[in-house]
Amino acid sequence: MTTTPFKTSPLSDHHGLVIESADLPLAELPHSEIADLFKQHGTLMFRGFGATADDFRELVQRFSSKLFFHQNPNRETISDDGAVLLVDAHRNPIPAHSEMSYCPLHPDLQWFYCVRPADEDGETTVYDGVEAYKRLAKETRDLFDKLRLTWRLPFPTAPEHQERVFGTADRAELEALFATFDDFEYDFDDAGNLDWKWTVSAVPQARYVDAPTLCNSYLGSGAIVSFEDGSTIPQHCRWDALDATEEVRVDLQWEAGDIVMIDNKRVMHGRRGFEDPDRKVAAMLSTPNF
């Protein structure tokens, strides 16, 4: 009989799992077993390991083949390479969204690390898109099944930002990369600034479970979005999506040292508003190596 070297408990009644230390260091958690649990549950919270920022970075690297750099250049970095960022510095609530799902670089994994929780409120929220999809009104589901979303950024991407996001500002290298993206259109102006638009399903197939998922940035992004035919998304779709996500919302009651691993192509995340200026939660984005 094999004994699991860590303790588990449900994160909610519909998705997610909490993994707690049973005297096993974070770095010694079995890779294949953790990966299998992640594929099944969509969100994993690692608690009680006394994780430091270095432990966080090492765990992310252990389960990743590639790190992503966020498209927002204004977030504060806490690592030399800029991969570990503090989340949005504002204290306002943030609705459900999937990080960078408005662009074809859309990362598979979203990670969070709690440096210091807020004294009150400020919970990160997670939303299982598979369950949220089931709760959409039929009219909204039918629209999202039929018409994809087209995303545009509200401003051009300057060459220095291209270097950060895409790893290069070289025109030939960028064009070679863009040729690998489906349904992606782009244009450079005379100064080398990049405009683009990308079309993708609002309810894609989840990667690890056989089900569609409401997993996009429709409710919480500064990007410009419409249906692919150019028509405006009806307001009732927004209210319906808000209702569906609120029904499945799980509030993460942060403790210092907690790490959360999220399937960014199944599970959306957000944040409850707060007042404490000393709240610090770090984030990373990556591609899995499993």
Per-residue pLDDT tens over the stretch 190-217: 999 999 999 999 999 999 999 999 999 9
Supply the range of the domain harboring residue 100.
6-128+253-288
What pLDDT is stored for residue 4 in this prediction? 74
Please check whether residue 173 lies inside any domain of the structure.
no
The share of the chain scoring above pLDDT 70, in percent, equals 93
Please check whether residue 74 lies inside any domain of the structure.
yes
Task: Count CA within 13 A, CB hemisphere, residue 72.
Answer: 19
Distance CA(100)–CA(104), nearest Å, equals 8
Give the residue-averaged pLDDT of 26-30. 96
Whether 44 contacts 260, CB under 8 Å: yes
pLDDT at 176 over 70: yes
Please check whether residue 235 lies inside any domain of the structure.
no
Which candidate, 9, 7, 242, 8, places its Cα nearest to that of 125? 242
Please check whether residue 259 lies inside any domain of the structure.
yes
Q: Whats the size of the chain, residue-wise?
A: 290
Please check whether residue 12 lies inside any domain of the structure.
yes
pLDDT at 239 over 90: yes
Backbone angles phi, psi at 101, to 5 degrees: -75, 0
What pLDDT is stored for residue 1 in this prediction? 43
What pLDDT is stored for residue 164 in this prediction? 81
**279 class by beta-carbon count within 10 Å (0-12 exposed, 13-18 middle, 19+ buried):** buried
The share of the chain scoring above pLDDT 90, in percent, equals 84
Domain count across the chain? 1
Please check whether residue 1 lies inside any domain of the structure.
no
Distance CA(227)–CA(146), nearest Å, equals 10
Distance CA(150)–CA(170), nearest Å, equals 26
Per-residue pLDDT tens over the stretch 96-117: 999 999 999 999 999 999 999 9
Please check whether residue 94 lies inside any domain of the structure.
yes
For residue 88, what is the domain's CATH number?
A: 3.60.130.10
Find the distance separating the first CA and the last CA of the chain, reported in whole Å: 26
| Average per-residue pLDDT for the chain | 94
pLDDT at 243 over 80: yes
